[in-house]
Amino acid sequence: MPLEFLISKIKKNNFLLIGRAGIDIYPDPPGSKIENAINFVSHLGGSSANMGVELTKFGGSCSLLTRVSDDALGQFVSKKLEFYGINNNLVKFEKNESRVSFAIVESSIKDHQSIIYRHKAADLFLNKQDIESANIPNFDCLLITGTALASEPSRSAVLYGLEIANKNNIPVVMDIDFRPYTWESNEKASEIYNLAAKNCTGVIGNDEEFSILAGKYEDSLNFAKTLSSNCDLIIYKKGNHGSVSFVEDREINKGVFSVNPLKPTGAGDAFMGALIGALLRDYDIEKSIEIGSAAAAIVVTKVGCAPAMPDLEEILKFMKNKKIS
């Protein structure tokens, strides 16, 4: 499917996101170490949820398919999704001993600590019945995050969902979103990511993440380029060194916006959400990549991820005052 087809489906503005929604907790006041915090502030978190928040800021119509714990914390997450304008009708409540994912994240760069609780995470209990009940053919574009592939039964469920999307000509964009603590090994992650990529229209990740698919870091860029023969949009992010995108037969190199970050988290979620949002709002692919980069730069200067996601007006104002380098 050509890039034009992906964009035409994005413009139908009917997105299904599959992945994690959880709770982020931040020491307060900002800059405090976890062990020295006076208070803690809670926000919606999770890569798919954050991505959905950003996409809704562009006017995106998003539904999130996930599982949360069947308790007050699960209800908190579901209500926060609704608060941010994400359709929560497909949120399932897991009745076993699982719990919503927690991330305790410092709003600081020096000696930064992020403590993640993912043991028996509810979202990883997503199953094939959930996929079937979501009725994927009713959607026009599928956005997934790699954390949903990390373990069973979610892994098989998501791969099943990708097959359904592929059979129904529904484009899929995957954010690799590799978190080593949820996988049994890098080798298994490589196997599953590559299997998923076969049914993807677009794949987005950083150099370290593409190295997991490639098998070793020095092969990661060439691997991303090779993957573009199967996928119409590959974006290989290089941190402070910008990004290189392989779009059909083109190679697009972009820099980054320099900022003084408050924290190192949330940039990838903002980039993906804003990239898709910019395409939804009729920007071309090159400008959409720049808008994604600007959103990523803005998010790392604020406390939180979901509440830090900027709208298009804020992004364009930022881009007027900052030059991409």
pLDDT, one tens digit per residue, over 280-314 is 999 999 999 999 999 999 999 999 999 999 999 99
- Tell me: pLDDT of 152 over 70: yes
Mean pLDDT confidence for 58-84: 98
Laid out side by side, the sheet with 15-18 consists of 91-94, 62-69, 15-18, 141-145, 172-175, 202-206, 233-237, 243-247, 250-254
Residue-level pLDDT at 195? 97
Res. 1 pLDDT band, cuts 50 70 90: low
- Tell me: pLDDT of 143 over 90: yes
- State the chain's mean pLDDT as an integer: 96
Residue 27 and residue 262 in contact, taking contact as beta carbons nearer than 8 Å: no
The string of pLDDT tens digits covering residues 116-139 is 998 899 999 999 999 999 999 999
Residue-level pLDDT at 223? 97
- Tell me: pLDDT of 60 over 80: yes
Q: How long is the chain?
A: 325
Res. 55 pLDDT band, cuts 50 70 90: very high
Greatest Cα-to-Cα distance within the chain, rounded to the nearest angstrom = 54
Percent of the chain with pLDDT over 90: 92
| Structural domains of the chain in order of their starting residue, each with its CATH number | 3-321 (3.40.1190.20)
Residue-level pLDDT at 161? 98
Residue-level pLDDT at 302? 95
Mean pLDDT confidence for 17-29: 96
